[in-house]
Amino acid sequence: MIFLLSSKLPLLNHCRYLSGLRHFDRPRRTLASPIEGKLPKVCGLDEAVSEIKSGENIYLHHACSMPIDLCKSLGIHVLKNNLNNIKVTHALTCGDLPWIREEFYGKIRSRTIFICNNMRPLVNKGFADYIPLFLSDTARLFDEKAIPVDTALLNLSPPDKHGYCSLGINVDLSSPAARNAKKIIATINTSQPKTFGDSEIHISQIDYLIKEDNLTPIFELPVIESNNEEKLIGKWIAENLIDNGATLQMGIGSIPNNVLNQLKNHQNLGVHSEMISDGITELINLGVINNSQKRMYPGKIVTCFAMGSKQFYEFLDGNPLFLFGSAGFTNSINTIIQQSKMTAINSAIEIDLTGQVVSDTIGKRFYSGFGGQVDFIFGSSAALDGLGKAIIALPSRTSKGEPKIVPCVKEGSGIVTTKAHCNYVVTEYGIANLWAKTICQRAYNLIKIAHPDDREMLEKEAFKRFGFIPSKD
């Protein structure tokens, strides 16, 4: 599908489909197409993983959809048969992974595009690998066979009367990985919502199917408590930077939730975001989010993965309001720039006085990943309607009282969003507009929203670094 915004705007043909497939991609299989005469082998967990061999490349359905029971069976199979050099590709991991234990070193090694709690020690000690990657490029990772997939381990919703299962709440890189997999092993999990879009997979595309009682339910996100600083940040953003009719992208955490809590008096908001969570539910029910102003998929919320509560998953189940695409579509720059008043809200670990944003490292230590920050920061800044806003939101200090607005980034820190991409920065003390500002003006605006006890230090350090006292002129 190609979208023409107006006679003055160009036709865009990159990543035109929810799948993120390009016209020259040649996937191994078309997940939604039935294969005549083929049915999966229905078996138990242990039998399903029994043919996995040393040296295989495995894709793991990740985040809240992670198939915990398949992971446990894979671990048992590897130890029992003394397998080694198995590489498992994934993003977020939620729940217990057997191969984080020392006995699996050299046997199973994770390759992750996003580091979370259970991967962090392994990556930083050299026992797992981190792939720095824009989320928009994850479809290419598999469609271009940069990482081959011998076996995909999936956690699917039950089949409907037509034989269609669903990838549920994690389509992101899961649909590209699955369509390029030589073999698909899937559990049928009654807790996995049926979702629409690029999430459908016909049962005949599955090679080994596990239907067992008492499978581990998909992961539920714990309730995140807000502090006063985060509430103030949400208020600044909602009251000053989000227009009626805006299309929203926001990540996970307390700040996005607080932004959403402040939007009940807004009108005609839309959502196009790589990730969605519980915070949007009330605004949908109130009619605040109605997606009526969206130019692409009007009336629909478009996303590639979800994280939330059981109640939120029940809200998603069979709900045609939501379209799940691969990250190759949702996060494609050419998709994002076509949105109406695209407003992207993302977080950071620290930001220096020039506007450089650190998001995936703490000093030399790898901490998280690129995710969709750069995709949406750049896409909203380059929006074709000229009304996009790119926002970085962060408290002025860490929980330990250390400044997050700093003279220079820590040694070893990686810059995720460049100073040229950073437009608005928001803390509990206000909003710094960095667009078209000099280094002198940027430093001045950022110091104004730093913690009051850090401002004198920042001014002195700015003079040492730049040779001037920051000013608004």
pLDDT string in tens for the chain (473-residue length): 333 343 333 434 444 579 999 888 899 999 999 999 999 999 999 999 999 999 999 999 999 999 999 999 999 999 999 999 999 999 999 988 999 999 999 999 999 999 999 999 999 999 999 999 999 999 999 999 999 999 999 999 999 999 999 999 999 999 999 999 999 999 999 999 999 999 999 999 999 999 998 999 999 998 888 899 999 999 999 999 999 999 999 977 789 999 999 999 999 999 999 999 999 999 999 999 999 999 999 999 999 999 999 999 999 999 999 999 999 999 999 999 999 999 999 999 999 999 999 999 999 999 999 999 999 999 999 999 999 999 999 999 999 999 999 999 999 999 999 999 989 999 999 999 999 999 999 999 999 999 999 999 999 999 999 999 999 88
Tell me: do 393 and 455 sit in the same domain. Answer: yes
Tell me: do 232 and 362 sit in the same domain. Answer: yes
- Rounded Cα distance between 328 and 295, Å, is 19
CATH number at residue 384: 3.40.1080.20
Q: What angle do CA 340, 16, 303 make, to 5 degrees?
A: 55
CATH number at residue 100: 3.40.1080.10
DSSP state string for 77-133 = HHHHTT---EEEEES-B-S--GGGSGGGTTTEEEEESS--TTTHHHHHHTSSEE---
pLDDT confidence of residue 126: 96
Tell me: do 347 and 451 sit in the same domain. Answer: yes
Tell me: do 135 and 190 sit in the same domain. Answer: yes
The 3-state DSSP class for residue 330 equals helix
The 3-state DSSP class for residue 195 equals coil
Structural domain includes residue 216 = no
Q: Are 292 and 298 spatial neighbours (Cβ–Cβ below 8 Å)?
A: yes
In the structure encoding, which two tokens stand for residue 137, read together?
């490029």
DSSP state of 233: H
Tell me: do 425 and 283 sit in the same domain. Answer: yes
pLDDT confidence of residue 78: 98
Tell me: do 206 and 63 sit in the same domain. Answer: yes
- Is residue 274 among the annotated active site residues? yes
Q: Given 274, 350, 459, 461, which residue is catalytic? A: 274
Structural domain includes residue 445 = yes
Tell me: do 178 and 267 sit in the same domain. Answer: no
pLDDT confidence of residue 3: 39
Which of 210, 243, 266 marks a domain boundary? 210
Tell me: do 166 and 64 sit in the same domain. Answer: yes
Structural domain includes residue 34 = no
Q: What angle do CA 417, 344, 25 make, to 5 degrees?
A: 75
pLDDT confidence of residue 16: 54
Which of 210, 241, 276 marks a domain boundary? 210
pLDDT confidence of residue 252: 76
Tell me: do 319 and 196 sit in the same domain. Answer: no
Q: Which domain holds residue 395?
A: 228-466
Which of 463, 459, 433, 430 minimizes the C-alpha distance to 447? 459
- Rounded Cα distance between 185 and 130, Å, is 25
pLDDT confidence of residue 7: 33
Structural domain includes residue 409 = yes
Tell me: do 56 and 150 sit in the same domain. Answer: yes
- Rounded Cα distance between 298 and 296, Å, is 6
Structural domain includes residue 241 = yes
Structural domain includes residue 157 = yes
Specify the number of domains making up the chain.
Answer: 2
Residues in the chain: 473
CA torsion through residues 416, 419, 421, 422, sign: positive
Tell me: do 269 and 124 sit in the same domain. Answer: no
Strand 342-347 and strand 305-306: the pairing is: unpaired
Structural domain includes residue 471 = no
Tell me: do 204 and 323 sit in the same domain. Answer: no
Prediction pTM value = 0.94
Structural domain includes residue 49 = yes
